[in-house]
């Protein structure tokens, strides 16, 4: 079976393109604003709204895969509240509809943190909104969790923000927290049932957008019982191997509590990053990669349903287009 995996499309609708400079506008401190500008222009991505064409390129290069998985973050999230914002919803809708139009029921998508809302890196604006979760599952038709069987393999797609909800607790509107907790419990119940009854010899391939969720997944009794059966875990979120390699070097650092919720969220993930090895993590890069290395692309793989040949993901580079 031929697999196509892409992640972090971050499609930009015309309404989101009109918000150029959205990150700088929510940063009041001029020093932080300059630091954010330097980070984006030199390292991360100078113009996040200039790469819609890369989704077209991926579809054009892959006309007939047997299975397509988009591992979250369909929108720019320029209002920092996910697809509860109409402009962000339009971005995600265009991206999802293009993939469904090209691949039909071969397409499966996971939900990313930007789809749900993510507090801005330096400005402290926004955060997850439960209305975004509802739009993801209804308007966009994305399942919070899904399971597919192919021979000896069970493929599972999970929503990382739900799994790692304790990390996001301080960013959530207090009145919405009970709804988020119910959604998390349903996700964990689905996961436990999906792997709890697997026969011996079955193998697992997981698709989880944000690797922050993996330490929470590791602590689940059902996961502990089947950890040896995990053949691969595909993550997104980090955009480039540069960040994945850095995260592995920083694994185990202490949690920083005094620099705000974003620093606490990142260091919480890094403190537990050593567990990523047990999940056999493979990063799916964003189509654009990062500004510094221009290393964007996607993944292809061949899945042998008999399990004789283990799955191996191949990173396909996309040519950089000056933005």
pLDDT in tens, 262-297: 666 777 778 888 899 999 999 999 999 999 999 999
Nearest to 13 by CA among 129, 117, 100, 92: 92
Write down the pLDDT at residue 79.
96
Total Cβ atoms within 10 A of residue 83: 31
H runs (alpha helix) in 82-148: 86-103, 113-116, 130-137
pLDDT confidence of residue 69: 98
pLDDT at 35: 86
**Whole-structure pTM value:** 0.95
Place of tokens 């209002």: 79
pLDDT value of position 257? 63
**Spatial distance between the Cα atoms of 36 and 121, rounded to a whole number of angstroms:** 8
Chain Cα centroid distance, residue 98: 18
Task: Say what the pLDDT of residue 103 is.
Answer: 98
Q: pLDDT (tens digit, 9 = 90+) per residue, 32-76?
A: 889 888 988 999 999 999 999 999 999 999 999 999 999 999 999
Q: What is the distance between the alpha carbons of residues 319 and 322, in angstroms, rounded to a whole number?
A: 10
CA neighbours closer than 13 Å in the CB half-sphere of residue 107: 21
| Tens-place pLDDT, residues 167-217 | 999 899 999 999 999 999 999 999 999 999 899 999 999 999 999 999 999
Q: Do β-strands 67-70 and 153-158 pair in parallel, antiparallel, or remain unpaired?
A: unpaired
Nearest to 116 by CA among 147, 88, 145, 158: 88
The confidence score (pLDDT) of residue 262 equals 63
What is the total residue count of the chain? 323
Residue 209 to residue 93: CA distance in whole angstroms: 18
In which residue are the tokens 């996607």 written?
Answer: 298
Q: What is the Cα–Cα distance from 56 to 40, expressed in whole angstroms?
A: 24
pLDDT of residue 258: 52
- Digit-coded pLDDT (tens) for 101-160: 999 999 999 999 999 999 987 767 899 999 999 999 999 999 999 999 999 999 999 999
Query: What pLDDT does 127 receive?
Result: 94
User: Do 198 and 155 touch, CB atoms closer than 8 A?
Assistant: no
Q: How confident is the model at residue 322 (pLDDT cuts 50, 70, 90)?
A: low
For 126-164, b where at least 16 C-beta lie within 10 A, e where not — what string? bbbbbbbbebbeeebebbbbbbeebebbbbbbbbbbbbb
Mean pLDDT of 214-222: 95
pLDDT value, residue 250: 85
Question: Where do the domains of the chain lie, and which CATH numbers do they carry?
Answer: 2-317 (3.60.21)
pLDDT at 259 over 60: no
How does residue 256 score in pLDDT terms, banded at 50, 70 and 90?
low
CB of 305 closer than 8 Å to CB of 152: yes
Q: Which helix (H) or strand (E) holds 185?
A: helix 177-196
């Amino acid at each position: 079976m031929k697999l196509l995996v892409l992640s972090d499309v971050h499609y930009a609708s015309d309404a989101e393109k009109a918000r150029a400079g959205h990150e700088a506008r929510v940063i009041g401190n001029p020093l932080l604003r300059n630091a954010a500008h330097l980070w984006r222009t030199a390292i991360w991505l100078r113009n996040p709204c200039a790469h819609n064409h890369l989704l077209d390129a991926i579809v054009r290069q892959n006309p007939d895969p047997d299975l397509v998985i988009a591992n979250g973050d369909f929108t720019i999230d320029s209002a920092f509240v996910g697809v509860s914002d109409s402009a962000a919803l339009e971005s995600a809708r265009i991206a999802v509809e293009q993939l469904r139009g090209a691949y039909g029921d071969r397409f499966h998508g996971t939900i990313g943190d930007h789809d749900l809302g993510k507090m801005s890196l330096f400005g402290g604006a926004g955060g997850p909104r439960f209305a975004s979760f509802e739009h993801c599952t209804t308007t966009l038709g994305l399942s919070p969790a899904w399971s597919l069987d192919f021979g000896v393999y069970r493929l599972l797609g999970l929503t990382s923000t739900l799994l790692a909800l304790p990390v996001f607790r301080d960013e959530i509107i207090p009145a919405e927290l009970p709804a988020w907790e119910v959604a998390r419990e349903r996700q964990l119940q689905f996961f436990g049932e999906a792997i709890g009854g697997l026969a011996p010899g079955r193998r697992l391939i997981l698709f989880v957008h944000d690797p922050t969720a993996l330490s929470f997944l590791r602590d689940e009794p059902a996961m502990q019982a089947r950890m040896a059966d995990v053949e691969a875990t595909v993550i997104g979120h980090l955009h480039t191997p540069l960040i994945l390699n850095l995260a592995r070097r920083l694994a185990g650092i202490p949690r920083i509590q005094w620099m705000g919720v974003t620093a606490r969220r990142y260091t919480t993930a890094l403190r537990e990053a050593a567990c990523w090895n047990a999940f056999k993590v493979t990063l799916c890069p964003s189509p654009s990669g990062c500004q510094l290395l221009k290393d964007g692309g996607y993944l292809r793989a061949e899945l042998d349903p008999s399990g004789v040949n283990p799955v191996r993901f191949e990173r396909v580079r996309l040519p950089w287009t000056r933005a």
